[in-house]
């Protein structure tokens, strides 16, 4: 029987987990899934809104992959610091990079660096309980905020707005850490503005996400009508777009809210963030479609009060030392998933931040097929390899094992039982590591 390949997968989000499953199910490989965090699953754990229970339940599906023979979790290892890619290539027969897109795109406007202006990646990480989130900032800043602006017309922007708009009772059944719920409950936000330079026909939010904003217990929806009549003329005729437009038209027929309000500003692009050391307002320019169907500014400016501004205009990947990387796209340079023989990529860092969870499965399987094609052609072969854990031990680094993750998982579920919910996320890295070490 041919000796199985030893594969390292860098990143334990959906792409990495699906790649590990495809490798293990083939019977041709054993897999170590490496992640810089003590807990696996990437954006499924730290990017999906805590009140979207059905999507977050994908974690349970991914968790079962650890039960497959030959699949291990090695967490709390930073590739590029604790071990470099070229060292992994010496220790394993092949390496697959699936570490996703951890950074965010900037607006590129004056004042964006002011305190109170943040990326959605940072805010979402905080309310999902990411161990590296800037707790001190969010927990001191949010209680001072009355007006918030969210820039973007995608599902993440809608998630951010919804979390800011919900009451403590609406968030009480989520797995948010206790400090997150307490901070959000202490915020006295009266107005949340969603700003997008295009119209609802070009927005990327889904109908389900959009409709949820009209079902909030204590927050009404108001629509800035600028450009909407013109904008609907550029509708693609897509049924999903038509459903979104129907929802928005329905909101326009409602009486204007008198209390906490979620304001939509379509056809408006950020021009500047105003403030003296911290954000106080966002200046937007109203836009329109020119004769060629392109977005152009009208010259009409609008000042929106905002002590808290969240840009949600896209994720982007970051490079690793020694790996060819395209800064313009934020992706690893590859051909059909192959970077070089023995080094591969899958997921967002391969193709950019697009698609749904299922897209990552198809993408990961395609990369695995490419790896096995290279193995069949003699470009990748099994060797005695090396010992990553021994290599890390020489540097004083102890990874979190599968058993360590399962101990963290059980601790979170036990904490949830105290509140009558499924789990409460543990956000403190030292606590997570202590639990894992006991395992």
Residue 262 β-bridge partners: 192, 221
For the chain, the structural domain boundaries read: 5-102+317-400, 104-311
Decide if pLDDT at 210 tops 90: yes
Identical fold for domains 5-102+317-400 and 104-311, yes or no, is: no
Top-level class of domain 5-102+317-400: alpha beta
pLDDT of residue 289: 86
**Tokens representing residue 355 in the block:** 């698609």
Residue 130 β-bridge partners: none
C-alpha–C-alpha distance, residues 303 and 274, integer Å: 9
C-alpha–C-alpha distance, residues 189 and 165, integer Å: 8
Specify whether the CB–CB gap between 394 and 87 falls below 8 A.
no
Task: Tell me the pLDDT tens digit for each residue of 101-148.
Answer: 888 899 999 999 999 999 999 999 999 999 999 999 999 999 999 999
Task: Tell me the pLDDT tens digit for each residue of 18-36.
Answer: 999 999 999 999 999 999 9
**Tokens representing residue 300 in the block:** 């009409």
CA distances from 288 to 151, 219, 256, 270 (A): 17, 29, 25, 14
Q: What pTM was estimated for this model as a whole?
A: 0.94
Half-sphere exposure of residue 33: CA atoms within 13 angstroms, side-chain side = 34
Task: Tell me the pLDDT tens digit for each residue of 151-202.
Answer: 999 999 999 999 999 999 999 999 999 999 999 999 999 999 999 999 998 9
pLDDT of residue 1: 46
Half-sphere exposure of residue 277: CA atoms within 13 angstroms, side-chain side = 0
The torsion angles phi and psi of 235, rounded to 5 degrees, stand at -60, 145
Q: Specify the CATH superfamily of domain 104-311.
A: FAD/NAD(P)-binding domain (3.50.50.60)
Specify whether the CB–CB gap between 19 and 367 falls below 8 A.
yes
């Amino acid at each position: 029987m041919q000796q199985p390949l030893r594969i390292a997968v860098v990143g334990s989000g959906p792409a990495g987990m699906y790649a590990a499953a495809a490798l293990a199910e083939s019977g041709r490989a054993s897999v170590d899934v490496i992640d810089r965090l003590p807990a696996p699953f990437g954006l499924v754990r730290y990017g999906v809104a805590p009140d979207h229970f059905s999507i977050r339940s994908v974690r349970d599906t991914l968790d079962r992959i650890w039960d497959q023979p030959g699949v291990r979790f090695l967490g709390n290892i930073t590739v590029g610091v604790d071990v470099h890619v070229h060292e992994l290539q010496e220790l394993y027969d092949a390496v697959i990079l699936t570490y996703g897109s951890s950074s965010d795109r900037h607006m590129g406007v004056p004042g964006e660096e002011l305190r109170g202006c943040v990326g959605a990646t940072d805010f979402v990480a905080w309310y999902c309980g990411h161990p590296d989130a800037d707790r001190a900032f969010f927990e001191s800043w949010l209680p001072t905020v009355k007006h918030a602006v969210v820039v973007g017309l995608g599902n993440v922007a809608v998630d951010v707005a919804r979390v800011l708009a919900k009451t403590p009772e609406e968030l009480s059944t989520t797995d948010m850490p206790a400090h997150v719920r307490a901070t959000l409950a202490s915020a006295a936000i009266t107005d949340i503005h969603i700003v997008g330079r295009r119209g609802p026909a070009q927005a990327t939010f889904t109908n389900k996400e959009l409709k949820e904003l009209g079902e909030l217990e204590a927050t009404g929806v108001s629509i800035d009508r600028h450009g909407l009549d013109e904008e609907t003329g550029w509708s693609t005729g897509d049924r999903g777009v038509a459903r979104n437009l129907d929802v928005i038209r329905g909101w326009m027929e409602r009486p204007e809210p008198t209390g906490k309000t979620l304001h939509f500003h379509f056809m408006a692009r950020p021009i500047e963030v105003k403030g003296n050391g911290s954000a106080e307002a966002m200046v937007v320019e109203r836009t329109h479609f020119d004769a060629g169907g392109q977005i152009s500014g009208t010259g009409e400016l609008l000042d929106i009060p905002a002590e808290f501004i969240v840009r949600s205009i896209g994720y982007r990947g970051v490079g690793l030392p020694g790996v060819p990387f395209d800064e313009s796209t934020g992706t690893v340079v590859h051909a059909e998933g192959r970077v070089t023989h023995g080094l591969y990529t899958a997921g967002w860092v391969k193709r950019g931040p697009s698609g749904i969870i299922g897209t990552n499965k198809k993408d990961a399987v395609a990369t695995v097929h490419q790896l096995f094609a290279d193995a069949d052609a003699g470009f990748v072969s099994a060797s005695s390899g090396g010992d990553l854990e021994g290599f890390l031990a020489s540097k004083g680094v102890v990874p979190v094992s599968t058993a360590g993750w399962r101990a963290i998982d059980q601790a979170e579920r036990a904490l949830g039982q105290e509140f009558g919910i499924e789990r409460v996320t543990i956000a403190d890295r030292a606590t997570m590591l202590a639990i894992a070490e006991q395992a």
